[in-house]
A and B are shown apart, each in its own frame.
Chain A
Amino acid sequence: KAGVTQTPRYLIKTRGQQVTLSCSPISGHRSVSWYQQTPGQGLQFLFEYFSETQRNKGNFPGRFSGRQFSNSRSEMNVSTLELGDSALYLCARAGSQYFGPGTRLTVL
């Protein structure tokens, strides 16, 4: 099993709103990575958190932010949503082999 839970699975928002997505790796895994998948840009790395610290960040605007809690759960926040933020957001746990089911965000 992948051992990564993502909530919610589907989300519809309107432009200008903000959204928070959640990712929970199974217990003991301290690293979480986030990816955005769109038809036009493919799969792109957003950021990685390890033991509550951001260790790596992709080339995304500051509207995209994240954090990690002491129980390894991670949240990703997107403020001032744009139509182009519509995507599948995937979260992976340590070693990047295993991904969660993803959150499909639609911005109207």
Chain B
Amino acid sequence: AQKITQTQPGMFVQEKEAVTLDCTYDTSDQSYGLFWYKQPSSGEMIFLIYQGSYDEQNATEGRYSLNFQKARKSANLVISASQLGDSAMYFCAMSSNNAGNMLTFGGGTRLMVKP
């Protein structure tokens, strides 16, 4: 069984500063994928970034980067230069090649950006 743990229920960050959202995972599968999503109050799940378990380099998408440490089973999201519009819920999720397109989600972290 797969499990995703996000230990930070809520976080504050000052506008223009960087912030790291933690995500640890547990799986016995060798091939898997890790995702981060942003969910604003509207409810829509917005894809941010993806990391495959065999990818040697950390994924980067604009201001988002994924700090992938396979041995520690962690996949932290780093947001650089935070903006007010970054205030939202953030979810870490995992897929496995053995489970089709099914995603297992963490409990989420609420990020609040202060002006």
Q: Which residues of A contact B (CB under 8 A)?
A: 2, 31, 33, 35, 37, 42-45, 48, 50, 55-56, 58, 88, 90, 92, 94-102, 104
Further 4 A-B residue pairs, CB within 8 A, beyond A48-B101, A58-B102: A35-B103, A92-B103, A96-B103, A99-B44
CA distance A82 to B44 in the complex (A): 24
**Chain A residue with Cβ nearest B37:** A99
CA distance A85 to B48 in the complex (A): 28
Q: Are A33 and B45 in contact (CB under 8 A)?
A: no
State how many angstroms separate the Cβ of A107 from the closest Cβ of chain B. Answer: 17
B12: which A residues are within 8 A, CB to CB? none
Q: Are B43 and A104 in contact (CB under 8 A)?
A: yes
**Chain B residue with Cβ nearest A93:** B101
A90: which B residues are within 8 A, CB to CB? 45
Q: Are A43 and B105 in contact (CB under 8 A)?
A: yes
A94: which B residues are within 8 A, CB to CB? 101
State how many angstroms separate the Cβ of B34 from the closest Cβ of chain A. Answer: 12
The 23 sampled A-B contact pairs (Cβ below 8 Å) are A31-B100, A33-B102, A37-B43, A42-B106, A44-B105, A48-B101, A48-B102, A50-B100, A50-B101, A56-B101, A92-B45, A92-B101, A95-B101, A96-B95, A96-B103, A97-B50, A99-B47, A100-B44, A101-B43, A101-B44, A102-B43, A102-B44, A102-B45
A96: which B residues are within 8 A, CB to CB? 35, 93, 95, 101-103
B42: which A residues are within 8 A, CB to CB? 101
**Chain B residue with Cβ nearest A43:** B105
